[in-house]
Amino acid sequence: MSEQQPPVYKPFPVSWEELHRYSKALAWRLVQMGPWKGLIAITRGGMVPAAIVARELEIRTIDTLSIASYDEQDQGKLHVLKNVKQDVGDGEGWLVIDDLVDTGKTARAVRKLLPQAHLGTVYAKPDGRPTVDTFVTEVSQDTWILFPWDTEPQATQPIWKTVERPR
């Protein structure tokens, strides 16, 4: 029997400027869908895009929903660490923002908690794409987005050194 190899992810670094540009593009897609009662940021990844969207849409009522599912590059068991306030109800009229929908696991948890909320993300992978209402950029499932808060400037290997090639 052969051992199953862990998935190989394609790194996709995103700069602060790119994240700002795409978050603003998300706001452009959402502006005609309002008015919104408020915005809920999925922590931690959705906090920066949520701040940009809130500014662009003049939303000042902001809450957070803390859902953890990642352990470095592996998705683990989902944990709701902090729920939204009671006055959000079923989410009707509320905008929920996250940085990325990957498998859709977090988005499905949001849908259970806030079935009427509008869920928007900056990035979407194919497996999670059907779980969100609005997104800006689709990336492949094997892409690992390196957000600016997770990276530091450093030298990297050229792609040809990191990819297995036919001999």
Q: Catalytic site residues?
A: 98-99, 102
Residue 43 annotated as part of some ligand binding site: no
Quick one: angle between helices 16-30 and 47-56, nearest 10?
Answer: 50
144 is in an annotated binding site: yes
30 marked as binding residue: no
User: Can you tell me the distance from the alpha carbon of 115 to that of 125, in angstroms, rounded to the nearest whole number?
Assistant: 21
Q: Which two tokens stand for residue 83?
A: 């729920």
Q: Is 89 annotated as a binding residue?
A: no
145 labelled binding-site residue = yes
Distances (CA, A) of 111 to 41, 125, 129: 14, 18, 14
In the annotated binding site for guanine, the residues are: 102, 145
In the annotated binding site for Mg(2+), the residues are: 99
In the annotated binding site for GMP, the residues are: 102-106, 144-145
